[in-house]
Amino acid sequence: MKLIVGIGGVTNGGKTTLTNSLFKALPNCCVIHQDDFFKPQDQIAVGEDGFKQWDVLESLDMEAMLGTVRAWLRSPQKFARAHGVSVRPDAADTHVLILDGFLLYSYRPMVDLYSRRYFLTVPYEECKWRRSTRSYTVPDPPGLFDGHVWPMYQKYRREMEADGVEVVYLDGMKSREELFHQVLEDIQNSLLNRSQAVAPTPAHPARPQGPGLGGGHRAARPTAAQPDTV
């Protein structure tokens, strides 16, 4: 069973913090960070506002990110091994991929790959404060947050909502522990529901095939007919 989980949402909402905790807690779990797919600095456009446009989809090599997700889909076992994740024999059929990033649900070719799309939010003031404490590989120039980062967050979020992309909102003002337990429990329930949906137990108790029984046609399988991939 393969499960792709998105930990998306606003910058400094706590995505990577939450992702790291889930990674440690879930069996056979791999992580892909969207931030690893930023294009080189000299390929980042400069806007009319004079700011490098880091917070737009075009600044990310999303084709490469999708390629990495496809590699996991082809063989989660191989992917896990290649990334130093040792596959747990007691849960060898369960594979979870977490995608961590601020623009996960705005790239059309990937939107339908997720089993669950989480979206962390924090209010403007908190976000601005947290961001001011961070140092990125390219430090934020003065005014970037108000001039570029926050307006782009609002624009992409509006578009995502207008497109009807279904997400589970998470309140990033909750404690790290509360968020972790909430999301872990939710993912574990998804895994449980899926394992029950694909379990080989028949919908009805097996009946011996005697005369007059088993007339040659099969009843449609209910939820079990769903593929176990995403």
Distances (CA, A) of 25 to 19, 78, 181: 10, 20, 10
For the CA atoms of 176, 31, 97, 192, what is the dihedral angle to 10 degrees? -30
Buried b (16+ CB within 10 A) or exposed e, 96-133: bbbbbbbbbbbbeebbebbbbbbbbbbeeeebeebbee
Residues forming contacts to ligand NNR in the complex (CB under 6 A) are: 11, 35, 38, 54-55, 102, 136-138, 149
Instruction: Report the residue from 1, 3, 4, 13 that binds ligand ATP according to the rule CB under 6 A.
Output: 13
CA 187 to chain CA centroid, Å, is: 11
Binding segment toward ligand ATP, per CB under 6 A, in 7-15, 65-73, 76-84, 187-195: 7-15
For residue 35, the minimal CB distance to ligand ATP (Å) is 6
Give the x/- contact pattern for ligand ATP in 21-60, rule: CB under 6 A. Answer: --------------x-------------------------
Residue that the structure tokens 């080189």 belong to: 40
Q: Does 12 bind ligand ATP (CB under 6 A)?
A: yes
Site for ligand ATP in 174-203 (CB under 6 A): 174-176, 179
Site for ligand ATP in 85-114 (CB under 6 A): 102
CA dist., res. 134 & res. 43, Å (int): 23
CA dist., res. 20 & res. 100, Å (int): 10
Instruction: Report the residue from 1, 3, 16, 48 that binds Mg ion according to the rule CB under 5 A.
Output: 16
CA dist., res. 195 & res. 104, Å (int): 26
Q: Does 148 bind ligand ATP (CB under 6 A)?
A: no
Nearer to ligand NNR, 52 or 181 (CB): 52
Selection from ligand ATP, ligand NNR, Mg ion, none that 95 binds (CB < 5 to 8 A by kind) is: none
For residue 107, the minimal CB distance to ligand NNR (Å) is 14
Q: Where are the beta strands (DSSP E) in the chain?
A: 2-9, 29-33, 95-100, 116-121, 168-171
Active site residue 35: yes
Which residues have a catalytic role annotated? 35
